[in-house]
Amino acid sequence: MKIWIKVLLVLIALSIIGAAIVYKFVYNKQHPDYENIEASFTLSAQDLYQEFKKNPYPSAKLYNGKIIAITGILSKIETADSLVTAVFVFKQGDFGDEGLRCTMLKKYNKEAIKLQPDGEVRIKGYCTGYNDTDVVLEKCSLIINNEN
């Protein structure tokens, strides 16, 4: 057998092994249990929004990638396909409502849809940042009174 065929077979075998390793350790990686992770910060929804509005970059360094528990007066619930988003509106901007948008974990969709606007709610979620209009929390869960 010629040497270039042997080299080609070795490269193919290494590629298959590499793909299997990537699949096992990267693609198939377990996701964090956002619902049960303790919040790094607890504050009001309005305070979180104001911090990002006044100082977006320092706030991003402090809050992005962290679990945050917020309390605030719910403005509305938005639904799109299987996504349910709790919205806290603090300002009317050029492009509509500005505030916090909290996308719920699917487990909490039914409970979130039942929430009444103008009622106080406590939500915990993963902060993904500020897009110049909204602070975005994802993987959110409702905090029940007996939960920390």
45/74 Cα distance (integer angstroms): 9
pLDDT of residue 1: 65
Regarding beta strands 76-80 and 134-142, do their DSSP bridges make them parallel or antiparallel, or are they unpaired? unpaired
Count Cα atoms within 13 angstroms, Cβ side, for 70.
29
Q: Which residues of the chain have pLDDT under 70?
A: 1, 145-148
Residues 6+ apart with CB under 8 A from 91: 97, 98, 99
Model confidence over 43-64: pLDDT tens digits? 999 999 999 999 999 999 999 9
pLDDT of residue 72: 94
Residues 6+ apart with CB under 8 A from 128: 64, 136, 137, 138
SS3 66: coil
21/28 Cα distance (integer angstroms): 10
SS3 109: helix
pLDDT of residue 86: 94
The class of domain 34-142 in CATH terms is mainly beta
Domain ranges of the chain: 1-30, 34-142
